[in-house]
Amino acid sequence: MSNTSYFVNISGFWCEMLGVGDFYYELGVQIVELCVATSHRNGGVISLDEVLSKLNHRRRPDNQVSGDDVVRAVKKLRILGSGMEVVATGSSQFIYSIPGELSMDHTTLLQLAEKVGHVTVSSAADDLGWTHERVSRTLDHLMRIGVAWRDNQDRPPSFWFPAFFQQCRAAD
């Protein structure tokens, strides 16, 4: 079997498995590659706007993809298991490429952090009406999976979310 026919067969298999045509299959592969390539920087959380910018930068002007295209491609990938999903946080959408599911506590804390890029245990507890224990447990999980970073230079320690750095800079 030639290399070309091998890739056509593999592509056909995945298109059938995912229930998508070649366009969404190829777009899904590009999104996964982008998420993997940037995960060391953002912990597996990337804004839909950044994904669109990076994907469309590589494409011809007459072949641009829309946010809806990206959302559809990511939803089609869900058949392969948890690990990629589009989550709305406030006015923005983010692609989470994190193994496993995020709970409502994780998502709520991410929505809070999106506003300024960081939180403290006390500020999050006050803003959300949670106990310090609940906030700490949620932040511990987000740090373990690489979504949040702890800054011990601040007193009290701050927890930063690299996925929101660019967004917060743009708001300044």
Can you give the pLDDT at residue 85?
85
Backbone angles phi, psi at 141, to 5 degrees: -65, -45
Other beta carbons within 10 Å of 146: 16
Q: What local confidence, expressed as pLDDT, does residue 12 receive? A: 55
Tell which CATH classification among 3.40.630.10, 3.40.50.1820, 1.10.10.10, 2.60.120.560 matches the domain 104-171: 1.10.10.10
Strand stretches in the chain, DSSP E? 45-47, 85-89, 92-96, 118-119, 149-151, 158-160
pLDDT for 79 equals 72
The pLDDT assigned to 101 comes to 72
Indicate the domain borders of the chain. 3-96, 104-171
pLDDT for res 115: 82
pLDDT at 8: 44
Query: Does 1.10.10.10 match the CATH number of domain 3-96?
Result: yes
Q: Output the six-digit token pair for 46.
A: 């990337």
* Shared fold status for 3-96 and 104-171: yes
Q: What is the pLDDT of residue 6?
A: 43
Enter the tokens of residue 85. 């999903």
pTM of the complete model: 0.65
Question: If you ran DSSP here, which 8-state letter would residue 142 be given?
Answer: H
pLDDT at 139: 95
Q: Evaluate the omega torsion of the peptide bond into residue 156 and state whether it is cis, within 30 degrees of 0.
A: yes
CA distance 141 to 137: 6
Give the per-residue pLDDT at 170. 52
Angle 22-42/48-57 helices, nearest 10 degrees? Answer: 120
Query: What parts of the chain have a pLDDT lower than 70?
Result: 1-21, 80-82, 99, 166-172
- pLDDT value, residue 167: 56
